[in-house]
Amino acid sequence: MTAGEDVRARTDAEREAFAAGTYYARVHDVGSPPEEVYLSLLPDARRDITHRFLTGLLRGDPDGLSAPATVGVGDPLPESTSSVLCVSSPEECVRAIRTESPEADRVAVLAFPESESVVVVAVEGEGGFGRPRLTGDVYRCREGGRERIDHPGELVPPLVAEGAFSNEAQAARVAEELDESAANLALSRLTHIVLDERVGGVSSVLDGLPTLPGADASAALSRLATEGHPYHYGAKLRRGMSSVDSLSYAPEFAPRIDVRFVAVRRDHAMCTRSGERGLTERLFEAFDGLSEATERALPVGDGVGEYVVIPIHPWQYHHTLPERYAEARADGRVLFVPYSHPATPLSNLRTVVPYPTETGKPLPHLKLAVAVQTTNVVRTVSPQAVANGPRVTSLLAAIQERDALETLGLLDEPVAACYYAPGATHTDGEAFDDARHLSGLLRENPVSHPLVGSERTPITVSALCARSPATGAAVVRDVIDRFAESEGIADPKRAATAFVERYLGVTIPDQLSLLTTYGIALESHAQNSILVIEEGRPVATLVRDFGGIRVLGERLSEHGLSIEPYPDSDLDADDETDLHDKLYYALFQNHLAMVVDAVSRSTPLSEAECWSLVRTRCAETFEALAAESIPEERLERDRGALFADRVRHKALTAMRLRGKRHEYVTSEVPNPLAGSVEPQF
């Protein structure tokens, strides 16, 4: 925070979060007076969300906007940008930006002709895939001077003037999303103060694990990912959940929530499974006393076999189910079971990790419906996910019987169920909403996977890239230091290089092999990917969540395999481009881009050197695949798409401006895997 910055709560979202933040600060004895702590975090949170929003505008090529320009130190503004105002104020604004941010080597400029203004911000380097690293304040220059943009919502009016939104309602919605994301980001950063004190005195967060509460070590580490989606302005958006609710249910605040359970009459439920045991049987086996509690909830004369038991998120249990299923409860189709079990929520909010029972045996993770929007979509569990999860599990099991995946673990989704009115296949409308709001699936616990074991620690990649409360750097720096110690490597850069090489070796080969051989593209972004380490050494990668994968039937059928997804599923890939878009975006533009950024910021290994290592590992993988019985033309197409000079980017901000949630909007960005790439910003 700098002098003159506005530290008042300006929006309804900030005022609501201010009350929650004051309560949290008071309970944890953070700051005096506690009211000032949340307010002190607001300016940086607003600026960071402004940077993410503006980055999305600069890279996403939204309809209606002028192309952005960049100006190097000493270069004049492009004539097309200067002519917006027909005055010299843009140049003056850029000169001022350079003075205020001397570390920046360029300035990004975005013109808004309809409002006769230009938005400028300093750029300090560029990340992979043309992602500018914005720094410092953002300014809007108009005739006669400039003004600092103190809140991301101030960018909405000039966007409206340019016709960038699909309609007025979408403009208002995005403005609300910006308000809430900024307010919640400041709120989440209150936890840094508490965690720093809790973990204080240790040199590595790995040593501080006993002080981090959670169902297990992996769940505790996942709670460190407090910043939300790194490339989306709605990073901390939880539309539908209040700030007070966040204190009770969001992972950064709540190491424990209490999962509830509902029984649904079997004739009004869809159940899917991979294997012999169904969801109810597995739940009764996992949770002591649940079977007896279910029996107590049943009407006299009914048997447990007439119902399907579904785990329910406690927020959904109290906020959504009572009203939406009031009639179903009244006539006995839906019964609330008087039973709960503690669990730790993960960073995506709807997936939770149950605490072990007295036996100490790890319990399966639960993916639960929550009628809350994070980033672009409401996080329910659709009938598609319920039907497809076990089917994909069976398919992947069949593949692994033929080709062992040496360092890639796929976390099974063996059983799932949802409320399902009889008589039709539900793909939209009220019946579809009834199904997706009362649904859940079981997922294999990473700790139980054969690639983990007692001496290894699974760490979600989003947590690996999060801030370590022990050092203030990224958690990956703590892991690299442990790796260097175990390997006896004294030189920090050599240690970082060796670590990244091992990381890539357990991440890239098996995933490219699945794509090229079987036509399966995993959605292995940073939240779905889990690095398994042993004394800091990367030994495996686990990937979870089969709801967003793509499968190309023609490649799969070559091996006598097939899958029949639920109607209107995105699982079926239209062509090879669908495969490339899914895996290459999730693994390279999201997952590895985050890791490369975290490593280059916290070790002597540069971003360019990291991408060179990625490029080498990919080339070696394709060389190895060429020795197998895969058509050469296919290998060349897959390799060409990965190494292209420019690649398609999933333009999340452009999607929101147009009100799109599931239909992708894309732009082209420079590819660091292509070799020498000129900076875009």
- Reference 107, options 141, 83, 84; nearest CA is 141
The model's confidence at residue 89, banded by pLDDT at 50, 70 and 90, is: low
Q: Tell me if 499 sits within 8 A of 480, measured CB to CB.
A: yes
Mean pLDDT of 525-552: 97
Task: Give the per-residue pLDDT at 336.
Answer: 98
CATH 1.10.510.40 is the classification of domain 457-643 = yes
Q: Tell me if 298 sits within 8 A of 304, measured CB to CB.
A: yes
The model's confidence at residue 87, banded by pLDDT at 50, 70 and 90, is: very low
648 pLDDT more than 80: yes
Mean pLDDT of 181-208: 91
Mean pLDDT of 361-373: 96
Mean pLDDT of 378-397: 97
Q: Where are the domains of the chain?
A: 12-188, 256-446, 457-643
Task: Give the per-residue pLDDT at 620.
Answer: 96
The backbone torsions φ and ψ at residue 146, rounded to the nearest 5 degrees and listed phi first, read -140, 160
For tokens 């899914």, what's the residue?
A: 582
β partners of residue 659: none
Burial of 200 (0-12, 13-18, 19+ CB in 10 A): exposed
What are the pLDDT digits (tens) for 326-366?
Answer: 999 999 999 999 999 999 999 989 999 999 988 888 999 99
End-to-end CA distance of the chain: 26
What are the pLDDT digits (tens) for 235-255?
Answer: 999 999 999 999 999 999 999
Task: Give the per-residue pLDDT at 679.
Answer: 53
4 pLDDT more than 70: no
Mean pLDDT of 73-88: 59
Report the alpha-carbon distance of residue 119 to residue 440 in Å, rounded: 45
Percent of the chain with pLDDT over 90: 79
Give the pair of three-digit tokens for residue 354: 């149950």
CA distances to 324, 379, 411, 435, 568 from 430, rounded to whole Å, are 10, 17, 31, 9, 16
Task: Give the per-residue pLDDT at 665.
Answer: 83
Task: Give the per-residue pLDDT at 83.
Answer: 58
Mean pLDDT of 67-92: 65
Mean pLDDT of 531-555: 97
CA distances to 232, 528, 591 from 548, rounded to whole Å, are 18, 10, 15
What value does the CA radius of gyration of the chain take, rounded to a whole number of Å? 25
Task: Give the per-residue pLDDT at 40.
Answer: 94
145 versus 340: the higher-pLDDT residue is: 340
CA distances to 141, 400, 475 from 638, rounded to whole Å, are 45, 22, 33
Average pLDDT, the chain: 92
Task: Give the per-residue pLDDT at 88.
Answer: 47
Mean pLDDT of 464-478: 95
Q: Tell me if 336 sits within 8 A of 262, measured CB to CB.
A: yes
Mean pLDDT of 75-103: 65
389 versus 113: the higher-pLDDT residue is: 389
The side-by-side arrangement of strands in the sheet containing 69-72 is 69-72, 106-112, 117-127, 131-142, 145-149
Mean pLDDT of 639-654: 94
Report the alpha-carbon distance of residue 353 to residue 355 in Å, rounded: 6
Work out the number of other CB atoms within 10 angstroms of the CB of residue 150: 18
The model's confidence at residue 5, banded by pLDDT at 50, 70 and 90, is: low
Task: Give the per-residue pLDDT at 3.
Answer: 46
Task: Give the per-residue pLDDT at 646.
Answer: 95
- Of 13-27, 239-253, 646-660, which range is least confident? 646-660
Task: Give the per-residue pLDDT at 74.
Answer: 63
Task: Give the per-residue pLDDT at 86.
Answer: 47
Report the alpha-carbon distance of residue 148 to residue 282 in Å, rounded: 57
What are the pLDDT digits (tens) for 575-595?
Answer: 999 999 999 999 999 999 999
